Amino acid sequence: MPEPLLIFALLIAVFVGFNIGGSTTAPAFGPAVGASLVPKVVAGGLMAVFFGLGAATIGRRVVDTLGQQVLHDSSLFTLESSIVILGLIGLALFAGNRTGVPASTSMTTVGAIAGLGVASGELQWATMREIVFWWVVAPIAGFAVSVAIGYFSYQRIADWISESSSNEPLFALDQSGTIPSITVTSSQRDELLAGGVVVAVGCLMAFSSGTSNIANIVAPLIGGGVLDMSAGIVLGSAAVALGALTIARRTIETLGNEIVELPLPAALVASTVSGVIITTLSLLGIPASFVIVATVSIAGLGWSRTLRSDDGSNGRIRAPIGDGGLDPAEARGAIASKNDSSEPELEFDPFESARVLTLQHVIPIVSTVGAYAVFSVAPVY
């Protein structure tokens, strides 16, 4: 019979995965659910499938980095130290929920493991320098790419999505048969394409979350030999799936009240940029923060719209070269009508962006200091 400490460690890992599934499904598929493209249960199912796919493929590299390469001696990941590390990750998720600012689970995990490494004198500084280097480069890259997209292409993306969207569901869950299946309910080509892009971006986010977050759930247990790689990935993916199919329904509803403040095109661009960057870093074995890259991507999009305003364009509607057959008064009326549409404007608040980014970095620092303090006083490794 497994010892109680082992059962406790596994339960904490499941708890972390459960909360990751509940918190990451909403940003991944909130736009698709909010646009009535898929029901919440389908969103949860897609999250479970694509997270597991990312974890089982690229995610192994990140697990190996955290479990084997951050510390010189992976045997430091005892059941006791793993419980402390996973507990700090759980506290980070809780703190993020309480402050309304999503915490960086990956940075918190690395910070906790680094605290163990410093306390024990076994930290691989070369690996930490490489990780921190990419932590600096990734947000800068996300910001720069988002600024470029926002300045040059955002309006065309927004117009295409607006013209191709409808209030009808794109996919539905068919439960008439023995095995439930997903059916396509729309027959319009442009509508299918636009809706498919929204859902595909959600799947990309779920996949990139799997590549990065699986390590935050099971890396200490795998590094310490408590679980092998395959078993750890199955356990972590199952825990995320449970969260995605249960508590994520509520977080999607909560996010639905906030997603109105962020236009759908902006959510898609930020998600795509962040997903590609995080997946690329995972291929390199680098644990990176999706929420921080997404935050700076949204900030980059917002700042690019202020640049368009400065150069004489409000970023939402540009007057045509000709009058399109309308007299000047009618043309002005048409433009004003489009500008007064219900679609929210993408705005940039530098102070709010700075507050969010500051809090997102403070929590991992607290995790590092806390782990160092705990392992210095009680060397349970």
**C-alpha distance across the termini of the chain, in Å:** 23
**C-beta separation of 271 from 83 below 8 A:** no
Beta strands in 240-324 (DSSP E): none
Q: What pLDDT sits at residue 341? A: 44
**C-beta separation of 219 from 109 below 8 A:** yes
pTM of the model: 0.82
Helix, strand, coil percentages for the chain (3-state, nearest 5): 75, 5, 25
d(C-alpha 122, C-alpha 222), whole Å: 18
What is the H or E stretch that residue 160 is in? helix 154-164
- Higher-confidence residue of 307 and 78: namely 78
Half-sphere exposure of residue 301: CA atoms within 13 angstroms, side-chain side:
28
d(C-alpha 66, C-alpha 169), whole Å: 41
Question: Crossing angle, helix 40-56 and helix 189-223, to 10 degrees?
Answer: 50
DSSP result, 168-227? S-SEEEE-SSSS-EEEE----HHHHHHHHHHHHHHHHHHHHHHHHHHHHHHHHHHHTTSS
d(C-alpha 143, C-alpha 299), whole Å: 7
Q: pLDDT tens, 219-229?
A: 999 999 999 99
The phi, psi pair for 2, rounded to 5°, reads -60, 145
d(C-alpha 167, C-alpha 35), whole Å: 7
Residue 374 — pLDDT band, cuts 50, 70, 90?
very high
Q: What pLDDT sits at residue 249? A: 81
Number of independent structural domains in the chain? 1
CA distances from 188 to 57, 163, 174, 203, 208 (A): 35, 12, 20, 22, 30
Instruction: Tell me the one-letter amino acid at 109.
Output: T
For CA atoms 153, 155, 159, 161, give the dihedral sign: positive
Residue 85, domain extent: 4-377
d(C-alpha 226, C-alpha 222), whole Å: 6
97 Cβ contact partners less than 8 Å away, ≥ 6 residues apart: 23
**SS3 for 259?**
helix
d(C-alpha 213, C-alpha 281), whole Å: 12
Q: Does residue 336 register a pLDDT over 90?
A: no
- Higher-confidence residue of 26 and 310: namely 26
Q: Does residue 333 register a pLDDT over 50?
A: no
Q: Does residue 315 register a pLDDT over 50?
A: no
Instruction: Tell me the one-letter amino acid at 253.
Output: E
Instruction: Tell me the one-letter amino acid at 105.
Output: T
For the chain, what is the mean pLDDT?
82
Least confident of 67-81, 159-173, 267-281, 348-362: 159-173
**SS3 for 24?**
helix
CA distances from 370 to 70, 100, 113, 207, 375 (A): 18, 22, 11, 31, 9
Beta strands in 38-187 (DSSP E): 171-174, 181-184
Q: What pLDDT sits at residue 362? A: 85
Tokens 């700075």, located at residue: 354
Q: Does residue 90 register a pLDDT over 70?
A: yes
Q: What pLDDT sits at residue 318? A: 35
What mean pLDDT comes out for the span 72-98? 87
For 195, other C-beta atoms within 10 Å of its C-beta total: 27
**C-beta separation of 116 from 71 below 8 A:** yes
Instruction: Tell me the one-letter amino acid at 361.
Output: H
Q: Which DSSP symbol is given to 345?
A: P
Q: What pLDDT sits at residue 338? A: 40
Q: What pLDDT sits at residue 168? A: 58
**SS3 for 123?**
strand
d(C-alpha 329, C-alpha 313), whole Å: 20
What mean pLDDT comes out for the span 193-215? 91
